[in-house]
């Protein structure tokens, strides 16, 4: 029986993998992980990975789309959640992680404190293309990178927001915006 292209590819890949030392295989896996991050993760997913830092490999299979890890149903509440952090090799006393119970029903989640607000990016809209810009005139907070990305600042912009290009850097001036919502008048 003639070997298919897929079968031949699998056979050659297996032969190549078997020829590698453990160190070489680990190097390839790290390279693949870096490629996966650069090429296939959204900015939100990258922010989640960066927030976990060196702990990412321990928890990446358990992190949800908002950056939380579900500890499960914890009969002893905070104490069980803290033990789960310890089981993952994370020190809750460092203050980097915070536990959160969902509506008091016993389900406990934890995530890095730096990820609080990720659900809506703290109200900021990331500008990645013209289609991300608001279609109406208004007042907006705009987040600008200044000094070629070394610093940043928040300004107020009124009118129709367009993402003009910085003539020196060739990059868009604004990276994010947030509508300024006029407050409703007081009731009494």
8-35 tens-digit pLDDT? 666 777 777 788 788 887 777 777 666 5
Length of the chain counted residue by residue: 188
Instruction: Judge whether 118 and 44 are in contact, CB under 8 Å.
Output: yes
Residue 123 pLDDT exceeds 70: yes
pLDDT value of residue 103: 44
Judging by DSSP bridges, how do beta strands 97-101 and 69-73 pair with one another? unpaired
Alpha helices, DSSP H, located in the chain: 5-18, 22-40, 43-52, 56-59, 78-87
Q: Which two tokens stand for residue 72?
A: 């499960």
pLDDT at 85 over 90: no
**150 in Cβ contact with 99 (< 8 Å):** no
As a whole number, mean pLDDT of residues 43-48 equals: 89
């Amino acid at each position: 029986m003639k070997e298919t292209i897929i079968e031949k590819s699998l056979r050659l890949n297996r032969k190549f993998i078997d020829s590698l030392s453990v160190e070489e295989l680990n190097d390839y896996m790290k390279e693949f992980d870096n490629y996966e991050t650069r090429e296939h993760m959204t900015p939100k997913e990258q922010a989640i990975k960066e927030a976990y830092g060196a702990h990412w490999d321990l928890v990446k299979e358990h992190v949800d789309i908002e950056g939380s890890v579900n500890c499960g149903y914890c009969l002893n509440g905070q104490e069980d959640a803290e033990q789960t952090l310890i089981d993952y090799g994370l020190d809750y006393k460092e203050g980097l992680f915070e536990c959160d119970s969902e509506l008091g029903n016993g389900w406990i989640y934890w995530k890095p404190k730096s990820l609080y607000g990720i659900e809506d990016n703290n109200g900021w809209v990331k500008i990645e293309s013209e289609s991300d810009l608001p279609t109406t005139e208004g007042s907006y907070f705009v987040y600008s990178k200044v000094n070629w990305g070394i610093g940043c600042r928040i300004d107020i912009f009124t009118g129709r927001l367009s993402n003009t290009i910085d003539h020196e850097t060739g990059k868009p001036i604004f990276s994010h915006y947030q509508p300024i919502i006029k407050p409703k008048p007081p009731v009494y």
